[in-house]
Structure 1
Amino acid sequence: MKLKTVLLATALTSAAYAAQAQEVTVMSWGGSYTKSQVEAYHKPFTALTGIKINSIDADNPATPIKAQVEAGNVSIDVADVEFSDAVRLCDEGLLEPMDVAMLPAAPDGTPATEDFIEGALQDCAVANIVWSTVFAYNSDNVTGEPVTIGDFFDTTKFPGKRGVRKSAKATLEMALMADGVPSDEVYGILDTDEGVDRAFAKLDSIKDDIVWWEAGAQPPQLLADGEVVMSTAYNGRIFNAAVAEGQPLHVVWDGQILDFDLFVVPKGAPNKDAAMKFVAFATDTQRLADQASWISYGPARKSSGALVGKYSDGKTEMAPHMPTAAANLGNALVNNFEFWVDKDAELNERFNAWLAN
């Protein structure tokens, strides 16, 4: 009996240790965005399950997935990626499929498949936020008030350096809108050689004034330091710098480009089952609403909207700062992920050649 008791105790201890030792490595974009995920997703998930979250960051979390999967040496369990990257990686067989049946229903019982906004559920990905690329300015360093995407490209009216993401995506669309192309015609025009030439011609007009950025944390810093007077940026990063840090930074919503970020699980993730548990937990109604109290990105579930209230400072109402607020959608462009799945390599090759000249 004593031996059986010892063996049973040992088995229970081993099982408890195995659960305790379980980990999930989540790769995201860093800065205030990762902080919002740590507070809204990571900490409560660990508190509930005992599963530790290892949080790591990259300039673009989609980049290491292909290399890791093809090398058969995957260390990432969950990654937060942009829409076109999620679709492309899935098409290339580099991601685990997502079973939507694992996703919890809304509090009123509405199935997840009906509660997520259109496009948020993909074969290999589940969206968590709606965000946008905008441009912003530092009012200490600008005379007057920029109000249109055209003002970003007008260095006569608003002299000074411009911060621009070192990527064809979003940069070319903004160039065309600044050149007078209506938002609903942008992708039709960008799908032609003449349209691509037109976008690069517009970029030529400010090329000598551009400071390139690659990580989302850079634009607020460039603006705060006075290295640029305006910069394209992720709207949540500007919100954080302005509201949490008190910087005199202002978002211009005209010409914003709306996009999703989605959770994916790389093929061969070492902790696949725990990773799927994390994705289901992090994209439930409450968790997505909780994240919106840390950064101004809209939740990807309809039922989360009513739960979005104030910023974590307890006084700033978040709704007006969301890219999806009605007042901010006047000249918005929704990212065409199918276009970028097809054209990403071609247009970035052209973009890199343009940079080198």
Structure 2
Amino acid sequence: MKTSLRIMQGVAFAALIGFSGTALARDLTAVGFGGAVQDAFRKAYFAPYAAEKGITILEDTTNGGLAKQKAMIDAGNVTWDVMQMEDDEVTVACESGLLEDIDWTTRPNGKDIDPTLFKECAVGALSWAKVLTYDTDKIKDGPQSWADFWNVEKWPGKRGLRKTAKLTMEVALMADGVKPADVYDVLATKEGQDRAFAKLDELKPNIQWWESGAQPQEWLSSGDVVMTTAYNGRIAAAQNEGKNFAIIWDGQINSWEFWAIMKGTPNLDQAIDLVDYMMSPAPQAVFAQTIPYGVSNVKVMDELSPEALAQLPSAPENLKNSIRFDADFWIDNNEELSARFATWVAQ
């Protein structure tokens, strides 16, 4: 589990004067998923914005889910402002009245944002990939596909998988020979779901379940697992620290995350202004050069060097045999499949 934190960034002024000249109701709080991506948010967005506006930005982290947001709203004590949210959860949160309904297409940088990345209550923040990785210092002839991931005879040892049905059942089907383009069509059927669980049965004795994004890299370093699923940005951060971890783009699961604003925040104007800032090209360029995640402003993607672009999950070459995460499928099926998955894990 990620550990919640609050880190003060920027310059604190005694009066805490906001961009509009009015005092903030409280310090602006930005919430992310922690780790390397939050470090990149801080460098590209939070610290420069706080310094420019002369305010303090507090940070918090979340593992996802909507329980905390709902509890804040029910209690009338909203302490989060701007949040990083997964594709499916932001849609549910908007439909549940947990987020401010803002037309981001009309904002100053709206015309430069990929038009597929607007939601009723959110705007695209970054694209990431769930990939296969292993330590090339320990495995010289390593796996190149999800089918290889299941080959415990050639590569004995534990495999790291995320302890959720979501993003795990897709991997199982690809390991069983389903083409990425067909995964969600197959998974939408009872036969396909049974097929995914049957494939997971084969690997179950060798699975070590991870629940936070930091665990795969830690386990690879310690040798607790010989290969694992992981988020590409986390692996890139480990590479920058000297780890020789491979990224296998074949069969990557590519997804987008979004910026959204908590319903009922007393800092609505300042929260909107922060998201406006994060939609602009200069900070997004810093973000993309800090961590290899795709960004929503198309001007930035067009201006990245070929070397920088090649590291992104959204690079054309890296998308050739990928699967795009289907948020709508998981909105419709998450409750049923997660319950079945939890029962299966416990058996």
Given the two structures, how large is their TM-score scaled by the length of structure 1?
0.88
Instruction: Report the Cα distance in structure 2 between the residues aligned to 1:16 and 1:127, rounded to whole angstroms.
Output: 28
Task: Give the structure 2 partner of residue 180 of structure 1.
Answer: 177
1:118-267 → structure 2 map (5 Å cutoff): 118-242=115-239, 244-267=240-263
Task: Give the structure 2 partner of residue 44 of structure 1.
Answer: 48
Give the match's secondary structure for 1:74: coil
Task: Give the structure 1 partner of residue 309 of structure 2.
Answer: 319
Task: Give the structure 2 partner of residue 342 of structure 1.
Answer: 332
Instruction: Report the Cα distance in structure 2 between the residues aligned to 1:46 and 1:15, rounded to whole angstroms.
Output: 11
Q: Which amino acid aligns with 2:202?
A: S
Residues 151-206 of structure 1 deviation map (CA, whole Å, 9 limit, x = unaligned) = 11111122111111111111011110111111111111111111111001111111
Give the match's secondary structure for 1:299: coil
Instruction: Report the Cα distance in structure 2 between the residues aligned to 1:71 and 1:178, rounded to whole angstroms.
Output: 45
Candidates 276, 295, 308, aligned match of 2:304: 308
Instruction: Report the Cα distance in structure 1 between the residues aligned to 2:199 and 2:104, rounded to whole angstroms.
Output: 43
Instruction: Report the Cα distance in structure 2 between the residues aligned to 1:344 and 1:20, rounded to whole angstroms.
Output: 38
Do 1:102 and 1:280's aligned partners in 2 also have CA atoms closer than 8 Å?
A: no
Q: Note closer, same or farther for the CA distance 1:71–1:22 as it changes in structure 2 (3 Å cut).
A: closer
Give the match's secondary structure for 2:100: coil
Pairwise CA distance, 1:62:
4.5
- Matched positions, count: 331
Pairwise CA distance, 1:71:
3.3
Give the match's secondary structure for 2:228: strand
Pairwise CA distance, 1:101:
5.1
Instruction: Report the Cα distance in structure 1 between the residues aligned to 2:84 and 2:39, rounded to whole angstroms.
Output: 13
Q: Note closer, same or farther for the CA distance 1:204–1:14 as it changes in structure 2 (3 Å cut).
A: closer
Larger radius of gyration: 1
Task: Give the structure 2 partner of residue 108 of structure 1.
Answer: none
Instruction: Report the Cα distance in structure 2 between the residues aligned to 1:289 and 1:327, rounded to whole angstroms.
Output: 20
Q: Which amino acid aligns with 2:161?
A: V
Candidates 289, 292, 296, aligned match of 1:296: 292
Do 2:113 and 2:279's aligned partners in 1 also have CA atoms closer than 8 Å?
A: no
Pairwise CA distance, 1:22:
5.4
Give the match's secondary structure for 1:212: strand
Instruction: Report the Cα distance in structure 2 between the residues aligned to 1:232 and 1:101, rounded to whole angstroms.
Output: 35
Task: Give the structure 1 partner of residue 83 of structure 2.
Answer: 79
Q: Note closer, same or farther for the CA distance 1:77–1:102 as it changes in structure 2 (3 Å cut).
A: farther
Instruction: Report the Cα distance in structure 1 between the residues aligned to 2:32 and 2:65, rounded to whole angstroms.
Output: 6
2:312 aligned with 1:354, yes or no? no
Instruction: Report the Cα distance in structure 2 between the residues aligned to 1:80 and 1:271, rounded to whole angstroms.
Output: 17
Q: In angstroms, what is the RMSD of aligned CA positions?
A: 2.0
Pairwise CA distance, 1:326:
2.1
Instruction: Report the Cα distance in structure 1 between the residues aligned to 2:102 and 2:15, rounded to whole angstroms.
Output: 31
Do 1:103 and 1:284's aligned partners in 2 also have CA atoms closer than 8 Å?
A: no
Residues 190-235 of structure 1 deviation map (CA, whole Å, 9 limit, x = unaligned) = 1111111100111111111111111111111111111111111111
Instruction: Report the Cα distance in structure 2 between the residues aligned to 1:318 and 1:16, rounded to whole angstroms.
Output: 38
Do 2:44 and 2:287's aligned partners in 1 also have CA atoms closer than 8 Å?
A: yes
Give the match's secondary structure for 2:289: coil
Q: Structure 2 stretches of 5 or more lacking a match? A: 1-13
Q: Which amino acid aligns with 1:292?
A: A
Do 2:131 and 2:253's aligned partners in 1 also have CA atoms closer than 8 Å?
A: yes
Task: Give the structure 1 partner of residue 10 of structure 2.
Answer: none
Instruction: Report the Cα distance in structure 1 between the residues aligned to 2:174 and 2:155, rounded to whole angstroms.
Output: 18
Pairwise CA distance, 1:20:
7.8
Q: Note closer, same or farther for the CA distance 1:15–1:238 as it changes in structure 2 (3 Å cut).
A: closer
Instruction: Report the Cα distance in structure 2 between the residues aligned to 1:136 and 1:145, rounded to whole angstroms.
Output: 9
Task: Give the structure 1 partner of residue 9 of structure 2.
Answer: none
Do 1:128 and 1:262's aligned partners in 2 also have CA atoms closer than 8 Å?
A: yes
Pairwise CA distance, 1:140:
2.3
Give the match's secondary structure for 1:270: coil
Do 1:117 and 1:300's aligned partners in 2 also have CA atoms closer than 8 Å?
A: yes
Q: Note closer, same or farther for the CA distance 1:270–1:14 as it changes in structure 2 (3 Å cut).
A: closer
2:330 aligned with 1:333, yes or no? no
Q: Structure 1 stretches of 5 or more lacking a match? A: 1-12, 106-111, 311-316
Q: Which amino acid aligns with 1:259?
A: S
